[in-house]
Structure 1
Amino acid sequence: MLNSKNPPQFAKAKLSPLPVEAPSCCSDEQCSAGPETATLPDNGERYSWLIAGMDCAACARKVENAVKQVPDVQRVQVLFATEKLLVSAPRDVRSDVEKAVKAAGYTLRDSDAPKTEAPSGWRENLPLLSLIAMMAVSWGLEQFNHPFGNLAFIATTLVGLWPIARQAVRLIRSGNWFAIETLMSVAAIGALFIGATAEAAMVLLLFLVGERLESYAASRARRGVSALMALKPEIATRIRNGERETVALSELRPGDIIEVSAGSRLPADGRLLGQAASFDESALTGESVPVEREPDEKVPAGSTSVDRLVQLEVISGPGDSAIDRILRLIEEADERRAPIERFIDRFSRIYTPIIMAIALLAAVIPPLLFGQSWSEWIYKGLALLLIGCPCALVISTPAAITSGLAAAARRGALIKGGAALERLGKIQHIAFDKTGTLTEGKPQVTAIETSGSLSENELLALAAAVEQGSTHPLAQAIVREAQSRSLTLPVTESHRALAGIGVEAIIDGETLRLSAPGKLPAGVLNESWQQRITQLEAEGQTVIAAIRQDELLGAIAMRDTLRGDAREAVEALKKIGVQGVMLTGDNPRAAAAIAGELGMDYRASLLPADKVKAVNELNAQSPLAMVGDGINDAPAMKAATIGIAMGSGTDVALETADAALTHNRLTELAAMIGLARATHNNIRQNITIALGLKAIFLVTTLMGLTGLWLAVLADSGATALVTANALRLLRKK
């Protein structure tokens, strides 16, 4: 799609460090798979713009190549999903970038500027509609008067060729020598010289139709991202010193008190103040039923207050709300390209000049060496040039991947790029963390056993004092139970976490340790206590023993409950041939009880290092995904073929993971894998369509059975077919 002539506006944008891919395989600098991501250098200023007019991933590469020609530019990154251009340079390069991008034929505007209104449909399609009208008139004249019809076709070709040839010249100047616009311009001009005027005009018309189809596909793929960005209101009502004031979203800071009326959206993540309220979080979670939030609970940005005016304390800084974090993940995903996509890019860089050389040889060798007709073989050479256009091949992979990622996001599965999507489709086993992943992660105290020296409440108060402030689910269960009994907790000091064992603190000068029974010193548990603990663990309960100065005070038993969708998720995975295994630091008996309910294998009493070892062993047998939610799961997730984080998990787990279940629905795991496999099949289909049509028309052209306008269908038609095929993924159930 050709771009508007609105003058671009530029401004330096202060950005936090964002990941950026190493030089693209489509760049003129090098062709290397390289690392999936890198970071913009810290020694340069960072600038940000929004780009208008990009129809496909190939357009993003054209902009990258143009900006890379600017002196002193260290890194350039084009984020196709969010239409952003990010540049890092040691000096102010804004004016130079402006010239380079404008010369390449694209429009920029400041990333902080208000979004301009999109042109209406008829204005956007005016060049195409005009060319269609001129083609109809030319065809009509041709039926009654050939000379006039021929002149009309020449005029139609020149009108259609002007913007395409101008864009081709721009791209050549910016370093893109073998763009589709260049091939189309050469073919149209050559067709005019040999008298194939009608076909020259038809070539350009079909090309513009193909461009419009690509533009439509791009807008469909970006629609979900645009809707997500629209969830954040531009202004907020802040309460300061008892007075209300309207402020821009960028002025909100953590600790500010904001007010949100019924039916309005939250501008930032907040902590609910006052009484309980209902929030519609469907835009973020997909759940249609409003969620009841209690005082002090967190509410994500983009949620809508359903029933009343609410006040909240802002807990996210500018650019760091739940929506911003998802957008950042999408931007990162845009640059984490699949290996097959990088291969196609490398292949197309070599393929295009080879095709141009073959077309040239086809046009000159038969006439020169065998006395064949010049006009006939020049015609065939031009047809080969159009047949060899790599557009359909280049778009075959990113179109499918973009559609696959968008379809997954709609279901609440955020996959960080094509590389992760490709690996996900190969998964044959899934390893699950237990607490917070297969279970609710909110265990409850079910039994308190004492040695007789303390009462239940006294033991519970001591344990709660030691566990106070911990984020571990078992620790929080003990503290909640003590709070529910309104117990007064003693003062503690010298808290110390014991990795893989437990925690200890000093109370009244004596060391109190809470530990897993299996980690206690030898001789602390007598036979009676061992039998009692064994019985509790056999019932699926987790037991924590309390000792003071190596004297056993008692034990506290807790039980977590399975997630409501855990069984359904495991069964769905089995149906698609994916087996599950549970990896947990819990005791073997409690793990066996949970695994038995789910019908899966398990490994218990694992430290974080043990989980990594187990993942490496399983991964060596077949591709394995690791699903977790805690900091201790992050190393194992990184070691797996692909790591999948629960949306409610820690920031470390979410950053480490290659995918995230933003809705916390385990049932989406099978759907994610199924979608990844469907995307891979779609890519194979697209490549077959792109290369198959070219092969067919190559043979028919050399045999003299097809001409220029059918040759362009080998590209524009294939582009339309692979785009339509990729869009089918958006409708996949």
Structure 2
Amino acid sequence: MSPKQKRLLTRIIVALVIFFAIIVVENMGILRDAFGTPGDVYAEFVLFLIPYLIAGYDVIAGAFRGLARGHALDEDFLMTVATFGAFALVLFPHTEPHMAEGAAVMLFFQVGELFQSYAVDKSRKSIADMMDIAPEFANVMEEGKLKQVDPFELAPDDEFIVMPGERIPLDGVIVSGDSQVDTAALTGESVPRTARPGDEVISGCVNLTGKIVVRATKPFEDSTVSRILELVENAAEKKARTENFITRFARVYTPIVVGVAALLAVVPPLLLGGDWADWVLRGLTFLVVSCPCALVISVPLSFFGGIGGASRLGILVKGSNYLEALGSTEVVVFDKTGTLTDGTFAVTEIAPAAGFTEGELIATAALAESFSTHPIAASVREAYGSPLDAARVSDVEEISGQGVAALVDGKSVLVGNGKLMGTRNVTFEATDAAGTVLYVAIDGRFAGHVVIADTVKPQAKRAIADLHAAGVKRTVMLTGDRAAVAQAVAADLGIDEVHAELLPQDKVSQVEALLAATETTTHGKGKLAFVGDGINDAPVLTRADIGIAMGAMGSDAAIEAADIVLMNDNPDDIAKAIDLARHTMRIVWQNIVFALGIKFAVLILAAFGIANMWMAVFADVGVAVIAILNAMRAMNVKRYESR
């Protein structure tokens, strides 16, 4: 609890003790015995002013400041007018006194303010935890001594040292040293990552075990940590439609109810000759009930809590408008490579022909590919797993679009696609295996085939299942890969629809077609989210209702183009994000329905003189406190952390 909150709590406690002491004195008849009638009423007036001013002097001051600045119709003004009016009923001593209610309204209004302040602080803490990733210094070696400098002073290619327990200040590449790096502040991932020379590391992560020397690749202002902090700080500026509606609603609603309260207090006594005290009390009760603080506090707080909770999971949401849209998502479209798959090629099948062994087949293919820089060649060499003797290979010829020919141990070897086999008149057994197929021939004889494929991420299948369980109606995969490969991946993962062999511009066209179909079937209510790696999918990320970038650590393109950034390279975080967004929206609408329902009911009762000031206190402060407590549930993400 902050010092300001502690001071407010102390004032409330002191005021409450005095308030209940006066109630006891009044009920015991001490005031009536001491001052008589109506002197006891005036004594009550003076005594109840004490807890009233102790608790609410800042609210009264705020109301007068608002008047001076031309912003009168805020909650401070409404509370001040209503409570002044309750005390002003002392001018009608023949009626039941209402100073106690006036003091109670101010007291419980401040209790609501305390709850609001605490809830906002708790929500801010999850954002502040994210802000703590900002490094305070960087270690550099100068004249043989370690010196701490401001990270802003370093430039690309400068080297800095990160000791165990320190945050990495800038994005860079490890020059020397081995360590474990904690990325939890950025990704929500609790398992540390191994970092070795040549590995990229990003700012904001914590070096755990060993001293490392890093060469900076970006200035601090362009580093990952700076971009993320900027994103989080600006998130509050992009409000959801629901949030904007509540703001506009309050602007129109408040002047109307103030006018109605004034008419309710003045018109009936003038026209009907009713009792002034009775109708003024009705107007004041109406005024207290009408304060829209439950809505204007709890709705933004719910979104703020949802965004803060998401940041703890490594899910960065650029604004509550995107969180609201994500909650309405019915179609999720995936790019395949780097999103559902690792984006790295690996040998998935080694199938020797009769008369050959697996070891002989992969060794021959690896030797023939030993001089190639192609990623497929690299995956074949990695699958072989042993050092290659370049002296065994000669006369290497790379044939564009087909493969490679070479002499291996004096034997003529061909490694490539079916077209290479056909042009060299090699009879081979074709296969429709999912992936890139390399056929191998030795001295004109077919030796077998090797299949290389982009491996599916281990969490991808569960991610698709979780999306369907979360209520997503359709999952779609877009890829530039061969149709056979795409169909195999989609069938394995349980994806509903596939579009393969697409150029980048074709992906935009497909998303536009899907958007049109979604708007037609859902009448514009259902949203479409596109999930990509954020590097080469910027046009599609921008075109979709919600662009989600995955595995975006260090990717400027992802942070720029996407509306939601999943810092961890885990497709299952998409379902978590959608579930969290829907949970937040349920809380928002619970608060709207509850607050408006109670308020309108008590407003009607107040207009007919049925509701007293105590009911008004509950309809205002009580509803606000309940709505705030409900809004705080949006911050609870423990159930997602355990998944």
Aligned with 1:605 (options 501, 513, 523): 501
Give the match for residue 709 of structure 1. 614
Distance 2:312 2:430 in 1: 45
Shift of 1:624: 1.9
Give the match for residue 46 of structure 1. none
Structure 2 CA distance for partners of 1:178 and 1:725, relative to 1, 3 Å: same
Structure 2 CA distance for partners of 1:280 and 1:685, relative to 1, 3 Å: same
Give the match for residue 532 of structure 2. 628
Give the match for residue 31 of structure 2. 145
Distance 1:317 1:380 in 2: 64
Structure 2 CA distance for partners of 1:486 and 1:355, relative to 1, 3 Å: farther
What SS class does the counterpart of residue 139 from structure 1 fall into? Answer: helix
What SS class does the counterpart of residue 213 from structure 1 fall into? Answer: helix
Q: Deviations over 1:141-170 (max 9, x none)?
A: 323325344421123334444321211122
Give the match for residue 144 of structure 2. 242
Give the match for residue 561 of structure 1. 455
Structure 2 CA distance for partners of 1:647 and 1:158, relative to 1, 3 Å: same
Distance 1:479 1:397 in 2: 57
Q: Deviations over 1:563-584 (max 9, x none)?
A: 0101111111122332322110
Q: Deviations over 1:380-427 (max 9, x none)?
A: 101111111111122232122112222222222222211111111121
TM-score of the pair, normalised by structure 2: 0.80
Give the match for residue 562 of structure 2. 657
- Corresponding letter in the other structure for 2:567: T
Give the match for residue 17 of structure 2. 133
C-alpha contact (below 8 Å) 2:541/2:547 kept by paired residues:
yes
Distance 1:408 1:233 in 2: 22
Deviates more, 1:139-148 or 1:414-423: 139-148
Shift of 1:487: 10
How many residue pairs were aligned?
569
Distance 1:398 1:267 in 2: 33
What SS class does the counterpart of residue 343 from structure 2 fall into? Answer: coil
C-alpha contact (below 8 Å) 1:682/1:726 kept by paired residues:
yes
Distance 2:49 2:129 in 1: 44
Shift of 1:514: 5.2
2:190 matches 1:294: no
Aligned with 1:406 (options 308, 318, 329): 308
C-alpha contact (below 8 Å) 2:175/2:198 kept by paired residues:
yes
Aligned with 1:262 (options 142, 152, 164): 164
2:534 matches 1:648: no
What SS class does the counterpart of residue 414 from structure 1 fall into? Answer: strand
What SS class does the counterpart of residue 440 from structure 1 fall into? Answer: strand
Shift of 1:716: 1.4
Aligned with 2:433 (options 539, 545, 548): 539
Distance 1:373 1:681 in 2: 45
Distance 1:463 1:336 in 2: 50
Alignment of 1:259-658 (within 5 A): 259-444=161-346, 460=369, 464=373, 535=430, 538-542=432-436, 558-578=452-472, 579-600=474-495, 601-622=497-518, 623-648=527-552, 650-658=555-563
- Corresponding letter in the other structure for 1:641: D
C-alpha contact (below 8 Å) 1:645/1:659 kept by paired residues:
yes
Whose Rg is larger?
2
- Write out the 4+ residue segments of structure 1 that deviate beyond 4 Å after TM superposition: 445-449, 455-463, 473-488, 510-516, 523-536
- Corresponding letter in the other structure for 2:562: A
Shift of 1:258: 2.3
Shift of 1:125: 2.9
Aligned with 1:197 (options 99, 103, 106): 99
C-alpha contact (below 8 Å) 1:542/1:586 kept by paired residues:
no
Distance 1:586 1:458 in 2: 27
Give the match for residue 631 of structure 2. 726
C-alpha contact (below 8 Å) 2:78/2:288 kept by paired residues:
yes
Shift of 1:280: 2.2
What SS class does the counterpart of residue 344 from structure 2 fall into? Answer: coil
Distance 1:595 1:424 in 2: 23
Structure 2 CA distance for partners of 1:291 and 1:185, relative to 1, 3 Å: same
Give the match for residue 217 of structure 1. 119
Give the match for residue 79 of structure 1. none
Shift of 1:202: 0.7
Distance 1:533 1:333 in 2: 59
Distance 1:576 1:239 in 2: 52
Task: Tell me: higher relative CO, structure 1 or 2? Use CA pairs within 8 A at least 6 residues apart.
Answer: 2
Distance 1:647 1:395 in 2: 34
C-alpha contact (below 8 Å) 1:239/1:256 kept by paired residues:
no
- Corresponding letter in the other structure for 1:141: V
Q: Percent identity?
A: 36
Distance 2:166 2:608 in 1: 66
C-alpha contact (below 8 Å) 2:165/2:207 kept by paired residues:
yes
The root-mean-square deviation of aligned C-alpha atoms, in Å, is 3.4
Give the match for residue 586 of structure 2. 681
Shift of 1:288: 2.4
Distance 2:261 2:348 in 1: 79
2:182 matches 1:182: no
Shift of 1:221: 0.9
Aligned with 1:667 (options 572, 575, 589): 572
Q: Deviations over 1:658-709 (max 9, x none)?
A: 1121122211222221222222221111111111111221132233333223
Structure 2 CA distance for partners of 1:731 and 1:539, relative to 1, 3 Å: same
Distance 1:443 1:585 in 2: 15
Q: Deviations over 1:431-466 (max 9, x none)?
A: 1111111011111367999xxxxx9679747752xx
- Corresponding letter in the other structure for 1:418: S
Distance 1:531 1:599 in 2: 38
Deviates more, 1:420-429 or 1:265-274: 265-274
C-alpha contact (below 8 Å) 2:294/2:627 kept by paired residues:
yes
C-alpha contact (below 8 Å) 1:437/1:628 kept by paired residues:
yes
Q: Deviations over 1:261-320 (max 9, x none)?
A: 222322333322213211222232223222111212122233222222222223342344
Q: Structure 2 unaligned runs (5+)?
A: 33-39, 91-97, 352-363, 391-396, 404-417, 440-448, 519-526
Structure 2 CA distance for partners of 1:533 and 1:310, relative to 1, 3 Å: farther
Shift of 1:192: 1.2
Q: Deviations over 1:88-116 (max 9, x none)?
A: xxxxxxxxxxxxxxxxxxxxxxxxxxxxx
C-alpha contact (below 8 Å) 1:463/1:514 kept by paired residues:
no
- Corresponding letter in the other structure for 1:155: I
- Corresponding letter in the other structure for 2:125: R
Give the match for residue 62 of structure 2. 167
Distance 1:444 1:533 in 2: 23
Shift of 1:213: 0.7
Shift of 1:373: 0.6
Structure 2 CA distance for partners of 1:654 and 1:264, relative to 1, 3 Å: closer
Structure 2 CA distance for partners of 1:447 and 1:692, relative to 1, 3 Å: closer
Give the match for residue 51 of structure 2. 156
Distance 1:208 1:438 in 2: 51
